[in-house]
Amino acid sequence: MDKFSFKDVLVTFAGLFITTLVAWVLITSTGNNPSEVAKYLYEGGFKGTRNIANSLYQATPLILTATATLISFRVGMFNIGINGSMYVGALYAGWAGYRFTNLGHFSHVTLCILIGMTVGALWMLLPALLRVYAGVSEIISTIILNFVAVLFVSYMANGPFRADPIAPATARILETAELKQIFPNSQFNTGFFIAVIVAILAHFVLNKTTFGYELRSGGDGLVGVYPSRFSSYLGIPSDRSAIIGMLISGALGGLAGAIEVLGAVRYFFQELEFNQGFDGILIGILGKLEPIGAIIASLFYGAIKNGGFFVDYKTDVAREIIIVLISILIFFVSAQKIVKGLEKYPIVKKLDSFFSRKKM
C-alpha cells in the first residue's frame, strides 16, 4: 500500500503555507504584529538551549500517545481513551516510586515504568473485549473510561494514596525512581529518549516483523476497519489483533503518564491534567499514522506548543491560537481529495514516481 508519497509532502507544505496566511489574518485582526509573534514563536520553540529542551519535553508524551494512537488505528480500533491510560499509569508509577524502598536506580525506574505500562494496558482491556465480544463501540467505551479514570485517580489521591494532609497528592517519589533531568531550569529528562526508542521499535515491529504484519492485517488499510476481511483471507484472527493492539496502545499511554511523574512532577496530585492523548490523535494523523512520522510531527508540535507559551508570555496573543492553527493544518493534511486531485498534473506524477516508496 502507499504510505508515503510526494503528493503527501506537497499537501503538507501547502497546508503550512495556508495556515501561515490564516495566522497572519487572525493575529492582525487582534491588533498584534504578525512578524513579532512569528519571531517569538520561533525563539520559544527553536532558539536557546532552555527553549529547545522545553520543546523536547513537550514532545516526549506526544511521541508516545501518537504511537499509541496509530497502533490502535492500524488494527482497526479507534482508541480515544489514551488519556485514561495516562492517568492510571501515572498514578501507579508514582505509587511504585515511593512504595518500593530497597531498589537500585535502574531497577526502581524499570519497575515503575513496567507497572505504569501494565496498568495502562489493563485499562484498555475492557473496551477491547466489549468491542470484540459484545459489539460495543470502542469510541464510546474509551471516552467514558476517560472520565472514569479522572474520577478514579481523584479518589485514590484523596484516599488510599494520599500523603499530604493539605493537598490531595501522593508522597514524593524516591530519588532512585527519578528520571534524570538533563538541563537546569527545564523539565526535559531522559524520558524523551525512552519515547524515541519506543517509537523506533514500534516502526520496526509494525513494518519488519511477522507479528507486526499480523497486527496490520487486522485492519483493512492504513486506518484499519475492524473486523477485517483481509485478515480472514489470510487466516489471521482479527479479534486477536484488535485486542493486542488495544493493549499495546494502552501500555504506551501508561508509559507516557509514568514518564511525566518520574521525570517531571515527581509525584501524583489530583490537579494533574493530561490532554496529550487527544493531541496524539492529531499528531498521529499529521505523521501519516507511521511511528517515524509521529516522532517528526511530535517534535514540530512540541516546538510550536512551547513557542506558543513564549508568545503568550511576550505578547497579548493567547496560546490557544496555536491549537487553532494546528487544527487548520490537520484539516489540509487529512484532505485526501486534495491529494488525489494532484494526480492529474504531469509534474506531480513524475516527482511522485521518483520519491515514492511502496510498502506492503
> What b/e readout covers 40-57, taking b as 16+ CB neighbours within 10 angstroms?
bbbebbeeeeebbbbbbb
C-alpha cell at 177: 525512581
pLDDT tens per residue across span 103-129: 999 999 999 999 999 999 999 999 999
List phi, psi (to 5°) of 36: -70, -40
- Angstrom CA distances, 252 to 176, 191, 326, 360, stand at 22, 13, 24, 25
Name which of 70-79, 134-143, 334-343 the model is least confident about: 334-343
Domains and CATH numbers, the chain: 59-301 (1.10.3470)
Helix axis angle, 49-74 to 82-99, nearest 10°: 120
| pLDDT, mean of residues 292-320 | 87
Q: Which residue has the higher pLDDT, 358 or 75?
A: 75
Position 20 scores a pLDDT of 82
Per-residue pLDDT at 327: 76
Q: 189 φ, ψ to 5°?
A: -140, 180
Question: Distance between CA atoms of 333 and 330, rounded to whole angstroms?
Answer: 5
- pLDDT tens for residues 270-287? 888 888 988 898 888 888
Instruction: State the pTM of this model.
Output: 0.88
Mean per-residue pLDDT, 4-14:
64
Q: pLDDT: is 10 or 157 the higher one? A: 157
Tell me the per-residue pLDDT of 51-103, one tens digit each, with 9 for 90 and over: 999 999 999 999 999 999 999 998 888 999 999 999 999 999 999 999 999 99
| Beta-carbon-side half-sphere exposure of residue 330 (alpha carbons within 13 Å) | 18
pLDDT at 318: 75
Task: Answer yes or no: is pLDDT of 223 > 60.
Answer: no
